[in-house]
Structure 1
Amino acid sequence: MKNKVILGALTIAGLAAGAAAAGTLDDVKARGKLNCGVTTGLVGFAAPNANGEWEGFDVAVCRAVAAAVLGDSTAVEFVPTTGKTRFTALASGEIDMLARNTTWTFSRDVDLKFEFVGVNYYDGQGFMVPKELGVSSAKELDGATVCIQTGTTTELNLADFFRSNNISYEPVPIETNAEAQQQYLAGACDVYTTDASGLAATRATFDDPSAHVLLPEIISKEPLGPLVRHGDHEWGDVVRWSLNALVAAEELGVTSANIGEMAAGTENPEINRLLGTEGTLGEMLGLSADWAKNAIGAGGNYGEVFAKNIGEDTPIGLARGLNAQWTEGGLLYAPPFR
């Protein structure tokens, strides 16, 4: 089994190295479209709406990158991927980037040969149970059946948590969030475990969300963010700084409402560099001077994207928490635009 795992990692790494050598930025420009890997469907993060258009918190990252590179936030082909297929899709070049509630880990960065360009959501793994189960702590789950997505860090964290607490569980393996939801509601498992944000998003779609509780334990660090292939540095810079542009815009007070006015020039040199009225940041990236203006204009700054898709006024109802700006006690922090 160990040899199989190593072989699989080497295969993905080999694919990634070959695909990266092609130069993704040039490919995307020539194609006139960004191929962006997303989840198969998680409301608030990435799911098609009633009109079949993809929307959500992760989708907004794809659209910001497309706007930065092509000047068009709609020039995106969304490719649904599962926990198992996402890395092969990226390594093989089927997608240009992955923006799919994917945790930045050592082995994914180093062994699978991917480049995580930043964190767009600081998360942790949690547990959801039916209220009628009468459980108030994950430590009371001895002997429980647990719905778990295969090929994920969630699977590994679950094993660690139960082993360290000397309790047992029976895994019910599933491949997609939709399958997990179906099995959990059908009673095929007592518990559903995944990133706490994913649990909140899933619960929000239930007929009676109040009949289900999120247990207090958060058992891991899950820094979720977009990734590209190793060795694809120019492209990695584009995706990284497009994400940073959304974060910096919120800190600097640049919004979808005032960006037109601010792009005419301000008293703040960093805003001017960000929006392309001063300096040559766009040229350094191989993009137009207004690349960041286009990225921010696609869906607003980070705070606007958060509030619209997953914030406290949405059915998902997530507080900013760790995802607040560093100036507000959170972990969000963009390096200087200079």
Structure 2
Amino acid sequence: MKKSVYFGVLTVASLAAGAAAAGTLDDVKARGKLNCGVTTGLVGFAAPDANGVWEGFDVALCRAVAAAVLGDGNSVEFVPTTGKTRFTALASGEIDMLARNTTWTFSRDVDLKFEFVGVNYYDGQGFMVPKELGVTSAKDLDGATVCIQTGTTTELNLADFFRANNISYEPVPIETNAEAQQQYLAGACDVYTTDASGLAATRATFEKPGDHILLPEIISKEPLAPLVRHGDSEWADVVRWTLNALISAEEYGITKANAEEMSKGSDNPEINRILGSEGTLGEMLGLDNAWAKRAIMVGGNYGEIFDANIGESTPIALSRGLNAQWTKGGLLYSPPFR
């Protein structure tokens, strides 16, 4: 689900400047709870289960940060946000971080005064249509009605694509993924467009997923990234390096099951620094040396989190693709822990 670019720019920027004046790390420690902004519900990424417990790929990062800072991955208050409300919620201090399928763009980084701490999912915008429509390419969608979330980069990408291909469309504005799904299945729109990962997640919830296809075109770059407010570098470092720890853990074979044992020391200095048996990296972050070990032990390393929530063995059935480790042809890469 993508990403408000111009909505409330001045208001959001001014709120962010004020909220960042205080140290978020100290606030989270004092509160004993991390307030994490997520989507209103996208299965596989962030959604409550039958018991109301939030789970998913983005949720796992929130829990990892909570474990790193507070020692408990359950010390999280999940705050559902829409494409329009997410940035105001972060800027005002209602949430401490946003992990919500949000694209890293120039204007959000610079004009809205946010800091993206690293890409946790490389994505691109796609199109879903009913198989019975008989369409095999997005270029065949001339005159189609398109369900599209308001306040998102999706709107801009869609307009650019149709204009470049000299075809027309009729937008059907929606606010949330749940509304999009309802409208699309009811036939109020011919097409649903959003991040390809979001389309796969949505289709997986359908009664008959096979009746719907994802068209081959990917029309944009959508580097999805967690973000915090500008002006609070200490907190940004905590979230950034928690994400990096999960990525590096996969590269070095540190898992949820073996992290405790490996933290006793290994022949690999990088592993030792990550898990805290060597060096003082935790102290540099304002945390103890077991911060990364705790983060990894909540839901596992990046690969474990991916596979458990959105991987090929799940109903979402996403392949790693660009999100494979750099050693396996993907873009996933963490700076060194040293």
Query: Same fold, TM exceeding 0.5?
Result: yes
Distance across 2 between alignment mates of 1:190 and 1:112:
34
For structure 1, the 5+ residue unaligned runs are none
Conservation of the 8 A alpha-carbon contact between 2:146 and 2:193 = yes
Distance across 1 between alignment mates of 2:297 and 2:150:
37
Residue 119 in 1 paired to residue 119 in 2? yes
Conservation of the 8 A alpha-carbon contact between 2:7 and 2:84 = no
Distance across 2 between alignment mates of 1:249 and 1:38:
24
Tell me which residue corresponds to 1:178: 178
Distance across 2 between alignment mates of 1:6 and 1:264:
49
Tell me which residue corresponds to 2:86: 86
Aligned residue pairs: how many? 334
Query: 1:158-188 deviations in whole A, cap 9, x for unaligned?
Result: 0000011010000000000000000000000
Q: Secondary structure of the equivalent of 1:330?
A: coil
Tell me which residue corresponds to 1:153: 153
Task: State the Cα distance separating 1:6 from its structure 2 match.
Answer: 7.1
Letter in 1 for 2:300: G
Q: Secondary structure of the equivalent of 1:28?
A: helix
**What are the within-5 Å matches in structure 2 for residues 220-235 of structure 1?**
220-235=220-235
Distance across 2 between alignment mates of 1:84 and 1:166:
29
Tell me which residue corresponds to 1:266: 266
Distance across 2 between alignment mates of 1:143 and 1:305:
40
In structure 2, the CA distance between the partners of 1:45 and 1:7, relative to structure 1 (3 Å rule), is closer
Letter in 1 for 2:286: G
Query: 1:75-100 deviations in whole A, cap 9, x for unaligned?
Result: 00000000000000000000000000
Tell me which residue corresponds to 1:17: 17
Letter in 2 for 1:146: V
Distance across 1 between alignment mates of 2:299 and 2:213:
32
For structure 2, the 5+ residue unaligned runs are none
**What are the within-5 Å matches in structure 2 for residues 1-338 of structure 1?**
8-338=8-338
Task: State the Cα distance separating 1:257 from its structure 2 match.
Answer: 1.2
Task: State the Cα distance separating 1:8 from its structure 2 match.
Answer: 2.3
In structure 2, the CA distance between the partners of 1:281 and 1:183, relative to structure 1 (3 Å rule), is same
In structure 2, the CA distance between the partners of 1:6 and 1:295, relative to structure 1 (3 Å rule), is closer
In structure 2, the CA distance between the partners of 1:6 and 1:225, relative to structure 1 (3 Å rule), is closer
Task: State the Cα distance separating 1:10 from its structure 2 match.
Answer: 1.4
Q: Secondary structure of the equivalent of 2:104?
A: coil
Q: Secondary structure of the equivalent of 1:314?
A: coil
Letter in 1 for 2:334: A
Task: State the Cα distance separating 1:260 from its structure 2 match.
Answer: 1.2
Q: Secondary structure of the equivalent of 1:192?
A: strand
Tell me the TM-score normalized by structure 2: 0.98
Letter in 2 for 1:193: T
In structure 2, the CA distance between the partners of 1:73 and 1:155, relative to structure 1 (3 Å rule), is same
Query: 1:10-68 deviations in whole A, cap 9, x for unaligned?
Result: 11101001101111000000000000000000000000001100000000010000000
Tell me the TM-score normalized by structure 1: 0.98
Conservation of the 8 A alpha-carbon contact between 2:125 and 2:154 = yes
Q: Secondary structure of the equivalent of 1:249?
A: helix
Distance across 1 between alignment mates of 2:6 and 2:263:
50
Conservation of the 8 A alpha-carbon contact between 2:7 and 2:151 = no
Distance across 1 between alignment mates of 2:8 and 2:174:
20
Runs of 4+ in 1 over 6 A off after TM superposition: none
Distance across 2 between alignment mates of 1:123 and 1:9:
25
Q: Secondary structure of the equivalent of 2:8?
A: helix
Letter in 2 for 1:168: S
Q: Secondary structure of the equivalent of 2:109?
A: helix
Distance across 2 between alignment mates of 1:208 and 1:10:
44
Letter in 1 for 2:127: F
Letter in 2 for 1:203: R
Conservation of the 8 A alpha-carbon contact between 2:149 and 2:180 = yes
Distance across 2 between alignment mates of 1:154 and 1:310:
22
Query: 1:129-161 deviations in whole A, cap 9, x for unaligned?
Result: 000000000000000000000011111100000
